[in-house]
Amino acid sequence: MTLNGWHGDGCAEADAQGLRSERILPRPTPIGVALVGCGYWGPNLARNMAEIPEFRLHALCDSDSGPLRQIAGKHPNARTIVDFDEVLADDAIEAVVIATPPTTHAPLAERALLAGKHVLVEKPLATSLADGVKVAELAMTTGLTLMPGHTFVYSPAVNMVRKLIEEEVIGDIHFITSSRLNLGKYQRDGVVCDLAPHDLSILLYWLKEHVVEISATGSCVFWEGVPETAFVTLTFASGTTANVQLSWLAPRKVRQMIAVGSRRMVQYDDTAADEPVRVYDRGMDVASPSNFGEHQLIYRAGDVVIPRVEAHEPLRLELLDFAHAIRTGREPRSNVALGLEIVAAVEAAGISMQLNGAPQACVQPVEPAAA
């Protein structure tokens, strides 16, 4: 499996192609879509799907009638369904967006693909690599679109940092630190399964290389076996390392990543709406020694540059890419290869935590072959 299929500007390219086509051809019939899972993230998905002309929000599905009633009030034209089998049997539904608990992702995605539906499943794609590969193989066999929902790869700020890396503004990346902290939301799958996929998707998207080794430790405060805080260290194929701090037990929300390069340092702060990216011309240089063994570090304190970042909602861009992938068969930016590698990394982190931080090799998923 390679990471070369990722498209840095794929969504913008898709939008541009769509606009050009619209001048010549009438807009295609909207894709009938059902939202499965109306809880925490469901309202955001429903709102965007209802606003995007590429989709027609046909149905809302949740086994819990409480959140289903709440979200249905804002989308009165959508069917309300409590039984997933009804979604699968409805021929007007061409695609499903799954936003249910992680352990249900792979089973529901598998059933939807077998019923002939395109699938966008929220992160992670699966809770085990074996299940993820099984679903990926089924998508390949059926020729349907399977897309994991890694929204951050559509973030304009994340793409700005990727551009800075590609254009060698930062230089060679020495290491990256990341902090993703908040008070809650508590989930039985643990903080690594909940939050780590975000940081992993960004790191893989920026560096475009595989994770080869992971070590992780965590702390269980309220429920044995459910860590609320974790510290994850990743080693990439080139030797670049990243340290990720994750926690549900923090007094304030923190969403920050710092990449330290040979030329500059860059800070990405997802909570800073106006200035999410800052580039620091700061660091240390090694002076050439005048005598053998004489080395001196020179501190460099240059300018701070704040690049302009376009304000676009990443979730909307993600859903537009999903619609484009369905219509054209083109691989979306958040693709199966990315989803499987994240599942493998999360699984390795879980094993490392069980072994008190012992480093684990990260298995590289084998890309399913075309039928």
Whether residue 132 lies inside any domain: the answer is: yes
Q: Confirm if 38 and 67 have CB atoms less than 8 A apart.
A: yes
Whether residue 328 lies inside any domain: the answer is: no
Q: Say which CATH number the domain at 85 has.
A: 3.40.50.720
Whether residue 352 lies inside any domain: the answer is: no
Would the CA dihedral through 332, 338, 343, 344 be positive or negative? Answer: positive
Total number of domains constituting the chain = 1
Residues of the chain with confidence (pLDDT) below 50: 1-25, 371
Q: What range defines the domain where residue 85 resides?
A: 10-152
Exposed/middle/buried for 206, CB within 10 Å: 0-12, 13-18, 19+?
A: buried
pLDDT value, residue 292: 54
pLDDT value, residue 369: 60
Q: Confirm if 334 and 201 have CB atoms less than 8 A apart.
A: yes
Whether residue 127 lies inside any domain: the answer is: yes
Q: Confirm if 17 and 9 have CB atoms less than 8 A apart.
A: no
Whether residue 116 lies inside any domain: the answer is: yes
pLDDT value, residue 13: 39
Whether residue 38 lies inside any domain: the answer is: yes
Whether residue 354 lies inside any domain: the answer is: no
pLDDT value, residue 296: 61
Whether residue 187 lies inside any domain: the answer is: no
Q: Confirm if 30 and 54 have CB atoms less than 8 A apart.
A: yes
Structural tokens at position 319 = 């859903």
pLDDT value, residue 282: 76
